[in-house]
Amino acid sequence: MYYFSKFLAVAKMATDDYVGFTFFVGCMAMMAASAFFFLSMNNFDKKWRTSILVSGLITFIAAVHYWYMRDYWASNAESPTFFRYVDWVLTVPLMCVEFYLILKVAGAKRSMMWRLIFLSVIMLVTGYFGEAVYRDQAWFWGLISGIAYFVIVYDIWLGEAKKLAEEAGGAVLKAHKTLCWFVLVGWAIYPLGYMAGTPGWYSFIGDWGLNMDVIYNIGDAVNKIGFGLVVYGAALASSND
């Protein structure tokens, strides 16, 4: 009965409910991407299989959370902030792990991976505090979150990660550059959404309200699936060399 009622809630989705539509499409897209990555793992050399596996885990975790977020939206017509941040705190560090995995061939150390993971967790936890817990101090928590984000950008664009990518060259360098653009441009939608959805210093961005969920959902699908496809492309290019 519970699952039947949930089905009815989705079936009654209004034709102009673009937020609900993007939750549903996002869930299906993430599931399809997970199946694609998992089933393609054995097509590549052992050194690329972990990267493809992580790509599949990223989209699989997102698909599960989008399933819950879709139902939460259908039942409450409220932005599922908690579920979204739980998703991000699991998937974003894994996206950072992808940088380490593709740069291992150039001698990347685990210290680089843990630094990126630590910065991503700081970025997300402080973002959640500002958006959901301490909204009166949203400017402060947003500032800390933003600093962590820009340190990540610096590390991958100008720091150790860039040097390692240049040493590796070929498909690894091309993949690294593309992933860097995903972080710089694709991830930028998240701090913009934070500023638009919290009071205080950032109010000049404008109150986009629940429409931000549409942008978040599209951004999530592009960033997470896109990350995996870049890694898949690098693995394919490397196997064909």
Q: From CA 84, how far away is CA 144, in angstroms rounded?
A: 19
Cα 196 from chain centroid? 19
Across the chain, mean pLDDT equals 86
Confidence (pLDDT) at 12: 63
pLDDT tens for 2-31 read: 444 554 444 566 666 888 889 999 999 999
Question: Residue 126 above 90 pLDDT?
Answer: yes
Q: From CA 216, how far away is CA 106, in angstroms rounded?
A: 34
pLDDT tens for 220-231 read: 999 999 999 999
pLDDT tens for 35-61 read: 999 999 988 888 889 999 999 999 999
Q: From CA 161, how far away is CA 98, in angstroms rounded?
A: 11
Question: Could you give the domains of the chain?
Answer: 20-240 (1.20.1070.10)
Question: Residue 67 above 90 pLDDT?
Answer: yes
Arithmetic mean of pLDDT, 103-113:
89
